Amino acid sequence: MLDAPPEIRLFAAAYEERSFTAAARREHATQSGVSQHVRKLEDRFGVRLFERSPGAIVPTPAGQEFYRHCVEVLRAHAAAAQAMRGFGQSLEGEVVVGLMPSMTRCALAPALARYTTLHPNVSVRIVEAYSFVLTERVRAGALAFAVVPQGPVGAGLRSRMFGRTPEVLVAATGRGLVHRAPVRMADLGPLKLVLPGIQNARRQSLDAYIAANGVRIERIMELDAMLGALDLVGQSDWLTVVPGVMMADERAGGRWTVGVLSGPSLSVDLMLIEPSKRPLEPATAAFLAVLEEETGRVNASWGELT
């Protein structure tokens, strides 16, 4: 595999980590080596790329501009190497991606079944976690991409829209909801709600929705374990709110009754995040295409209600 110019690669790592030590750890280099490469760049250009202080580095305007060009160079370099490897090769290798828990319940299984049939020489590894964990793992290069709720991603990453899904209210069957019908939370209270913790990207919008629409709350339980929350709801009078893509295959008569939030509706935008400096490998891009198709298919069942 062709290696990107080390001074550009190490500068970009230092810029993203805001630390020579952290950049060295990420790139399997030494702290002095990263610092020396950056110093050589500064000497070559005759400008300072970072302001240095004990324990931290801050990019100068010149450093910010140079980083923007470095990202383009690194991505183009990776694309060229990838194109050369692709001549005469079938898809093979390993796909390692991250998904939020709501993405792994309905869309993942059919995507994996299709993909592994089409590309039997590719191994797929899925990491399930919440958005703040997945974002850092993509930034560190441990994941090729991740699907997370919309939010800021920071340096070293690029993002685009992956899909939109309604938020739905889930109760145990027989607790008063009409399956797959619109539901106003303000008409049901006071409610015992299971919600994700405050670090979850969806929590802020859920809190704002509850406050703005007169939803009466008896108790809130924070539970960052989505399947655990559904199990609790299925055997108690607690309710929860989850992205619709997670419950799209539910049928009336099961453990849960699912209603689409209305008056007003609430949705969550799902974003694809990936490293900004390199394109997806062909095997990973192919898996992403299948995952997007299956997510769109399972989510389409809510279309007439949203």
CATH code for position 117: 3.40.190.10
Q: What are the tens digits of pLDDT across the range 68-100?
A: 999 988 988 888 877 766 554 568 889 999 999
Structure tokens at 64: 């910010």
Specify the pLDDT at position 87. 55
- For residues 274 and 268, the answer to whether their CB atoms sit within 8 Å is no
**pLDDT band at residue 1, thresholds of 50, 70 and 90?**
very low
Pairing assessment for the beta strands 157-172 and 267-275 based on DSSP bridges: antiparallel
Q: What are the tens digits of pLDDT across the range 205-248?
A: 999 999 999 999 999 999 988 889 999 999 999 999 999 988 87
Q: Compute the distance between CA of residue 118 and CA of residue 160 in angstroms, rounded to an integer.
A: 26
Asked which of 33, 58, 86 is the last residue of a domain, the reply is 86
Q: Does 170 share its domain with 259?
A: yes
Query: Is the predicted pLDDT of residue 108 greater than 90, yes or no?
Result: yes
Specify the pLDDT at position 175. 84
Q: What are the tens digits of pLDDT across the range 23-37?
A: 999 888 999 999 999
Query: Is the predicted pLDDT of residue 305 greater than 50, yes or no?
Result: no
Q: Does residue 212 sit within a domain?
A: yes
Q: Does residue 194 sit within a domain?
A: yes
Q: Compute the distance between CA of residue 97 and CA of residue 142 in angstroms, rounded to an integer.
A: 8
Share of the chain above pLDDT 90, in %: 62
- For 65, 184, 246, 261, the CA distances from 264, given in Å and listed in that order, are 43, 8, 20, 7
Q: Does residue 240 sit within a domain?
A: yes
**pLDDT band at residue 288, thresholds of 50, 70 and 90?**
very high
Q: Which residues of 106-131 are buried (b: 16+ CB within 10 A; e: fewer)?
A: bbbebbbeebeeebeebebebeebbb
Counted domains in the chain = 3
The mean pLDDT value for 128-143 works out to 91
Is the pTM higher than 0.75? Answer: no
Q: Does 51 share its domain with 119?
A: no
The mean pLDDT value for 188-217 works out to 92
Q: Does residue 300 sit within a domain?
A: yes
Q: Does 263 share its domain with 202?
A: yes
Which range marks the domain in which residue 17 is found? 6-86
Q: Does 264 share its domain with 238?
A: yes
- For residues 239 and 191, the answer to whether their CB atoms sit within 8 Å is yes
Question: How many other CB atoms are there within 10 angstroms of residue 34's CB atom?
Answer: 27
Question: How many other CB atoms are there within 10 angstroms of residue 78's CB atom?
Answer: 19
Query: Is the predicted pLDDT of residue 7 greater than 80, yes or no?
Result: yes
Q: Does 100 share its domain with 69?
A: no
CATH of the domain at 229: 3.40.190.290
Q: Does 67 share its domain with 205?
A: no
Q: What are the tens digits of pLDDT across the range 23-73?
A: 999 888 999 999 999 999 999 999 999 999 887 899 999 999 999 999 988
CA torsion sign, 227 to 97 to 149 to 222? positive
* Helix H or strand E segment including 45: helix 31-45
Specify the pLDDT at position 299. 85
Asked which of 60, 86, 112 is the last residue of a domain, the reply is 86
Which residues are bridge partners to 127 per DSSP? 98
Q: Does 143 share its domain with 277?
A: yes
Specify the pLDDT at position 251. 61
Asked which of 34, 60, 86 is the last residue of a domain, the reply is 86
Q: Does residue 75 sit within a domain?
A: yes
Q: Does residue 1 sit within a domain?
A: no
- Farthest-apart Cα atoms in the chain, separation: 73
Q: Does 262 share its domain with 284?
A: no
Bond before 190 cis per omega within 30 degrees: yes
Q: Does 11 share its domain with 154?
A: no
Q: Does 102 share its domain with 226?
A: no
Q: What are the tens digits of pLDDT across the range 149-171?
A: 988 888 899 999 999 999 999 99
CATH of the domain at 19: 1.10.10.10
Query: Is the predicted pLDDT of residue 289 greater than 70, yes or no?
Result: yes
**pLDDT band at residue 290, thresholds of 50, 70 and 90?**
very high
Q: Does 186 share its domain with 172?
A: yes
Q: Does 69 share its domain with 128?
A: no
